Structure 1
């Protein structure tokens, strides 16, 4: 990225968005940071600048289509164009479906699903006239496999999956130079588990194994520059979940019903009111950063993620190894016949 790609990241004030903005900045990008939380945005901008990038802060609620369009125009006014748009912003409610109010379910859907729709529309408005650009949808294993206590979030992620597939087909049909891809993530050590509106007795937590957000950020950056792949799976747990769901979804239903209520909770008091209706750093003026409270157990590397990002290289290596093996066998056979 010698000339400094222009990258927009939604949900950039914390978690995966924060780590992703920093990862792009390390490659010299000009990064537009979109989110509601002003304290988190200010801290994210400082990190981008220190990492070698250039930051533009835009405070916006992604559930407001007009506000997202205006934010995109701000980016173009400041940086001239948009090369990469990363949809990442979300919110959630941690409760059984019957304990989530209609307004809460609607709000999760508006932010987590329609926020991606509005972000994608704003990106296309500026990318299509140039006939180039990449849109990365930050997804989850839950885009394919719903789990208990997260019906609103899982529903939104499933919707993003279907929407993105439809859009991808349309872009391919038109021969567009604009690309879209999706990155399916595992449980991550982000502040989201202290942000979700929680109605359960225990404190919310990700299902183990837990990965650091920098693993997700690396995958998002890679996807942005290798968008011909329709999607990337990050983490062994994501791969195992998606394969199991494809092969034996009924068995997985029963397994998750038996294990996942407890697996998503731990002892401790809820840390706050959540970020459903207002940013988590709002009245308290606190920057939450990229990491959550699970640093002691979170892993920093994912062999599966490396294999996913280097699939072509591995394929060439396997072909070369196979050719070499065949050559050895053939030579050995000739020697025996000689």
Structure 2
């Protein structure tokens, strides 16, 4: 059966790679984003991969526009099976250099955009008692870093909002599922168009992963949405666990390293950001899924495989533990016999 999928932030980065992935599955993919060039490129990607595509220019901060886009998706392809929230904007700057209007704008897209998408999806899924919502989160939703206060705040809010909605669906015994996929640093075009007041070009904090890895993780979560959330990349797992058990140490570490690690050695050029308007509007070039860090980005992660095979990983871990206990016991017997 053909799956009907809606992806927000589909014009570039993780959303773009995810659209292509579902196109390769033969899905009907509705693409929501602001950038016209990126949307048209995403349509080509989906169709060349084997799916069908509908591009709907949408600002996720505008609830009415999101509602209208969902209506167009169902008019074209039928009931929505899967809704994937990815869209965001950000500002790279110390908090006191971000204006209140800019902070509000980031919140309206990166947090309320997820609220809007979730709401219009649930309005259609709950009466049918069918459907899945995938929230694309971030490690920064569990552990904030300097210079991204607006984005980190929005991602923390997405986590709390999603947990609340999940509990409500469980209370209603609904078959509609909602899950989170927490992302590491990913090589996306955001670093070439994000509004930045840093003296040097912004960069993701290593290790960096390719957007196709993120797309595969999202697809797996969509296929197996009963889990509360998925972590992508060993750095995500390590950071979330370190925040849980050693947050004060992380504060001091990030205070020392967080400014330098988010900047390259190259001076930042004067360029427009995409906070208020897309940089891939009419007549602009298509940026695609990848940013400028291909040479440093990983395409695979053992942690992703392990998280998707939790039972096997647990069994292997238990077997290894038993073998270790057996080896220790055997060594102890030899020592006793030697006496």
**Whole-angstrom CA distance in 2 between matches of 1:178 and 1:232:** 18
Q: Secondary structure at the match of 2:103?
A: helix
Q: Are 1:4 and 2:29 an aligned pair?
A: no
Deviation, structure 1 residue 26: 1.1
Which residue is equivalent to 1:63?
Answer: 61
Which residue is equivalent to 1:279?
Answer: 278
Which residue is equivalent to 1:334?
Answer: none
**Whole-angstrom CA distance in 1 between matches of 2:196 and 2:324:** 57
TM-score normalized with structure 1 length: 0.93
Cα 1:234–1:203 shift into 2, 3 Å:
same
**Whole-angstrom CA distance in 1 between matches of 2:70 and 2:63:** 11
Q: CA offsets, 1:88-112, max 9 Å, x none?
A: 0000000000000000000000000
Moved over 4 A (4+): 316-326
Q: Secondary structure at the match of 2:135?
A: strand
Deviation, structure 1 residue 272: 2.5
Give the alignment's Cα RMSD to 1 decimal. 1.8
**Whole-angstrom CA distance in 1 between matches of 2:314 and 2:270:** 47
Contact 2:213 2:300 in 1 (8 A): yes
**Structure 2: runs of 5+ lacking an equivalent:** 326-339
Contact 1:194 1:271 in 2 (8 A): no
TM-score normalized with structure 2 length: 0.92
Contact 1:4 1:28 in 2 (8 A): yes
Corresponding residue pairs, total: 325
Contact 2:37 2:283 in 1 (8 A): no
Which residue is equivalent to 1:146?
Answer: 144
Q: CA offsets, 1:107-159, max 9 Å, x none?
A: 00000000000000000011011101000000000011110000000000000
Cα 1:188–1:225 shift into 2, 3 Å:
same
Contact 1:198 1:270 in 2 (8 A): no
Deviation, structure 1 residue 317: 5.4
**Structure 1: runs of 5+ lacking an equivalent:** 327-338
Deviation, structure 1 residue 323: 9.5
Q: Secondary structure at the match of 1:208?
A: coil
Cα 1:17–1:271 shift into 2, 3 Å:
farther
Cα 1:325–1:199 shift into 2, 3 Å:
closer
Contact 1:194 1:270 in 2 (8 A): no
**Whole-angstrom CA distance in 1 between matches of 2:40 and 2:111:** 25
Which residue is equivalent to 1:86?
Answer: 84
Q: Are 1:233 and 2:214 an aligned pair?
A: no
Deviation, structure 1 residue 319: 6.5
Which residue is equivalent to 2:328?
Answer: none
Cα 1:248–1:68 shift into 2, 3 Å:
same
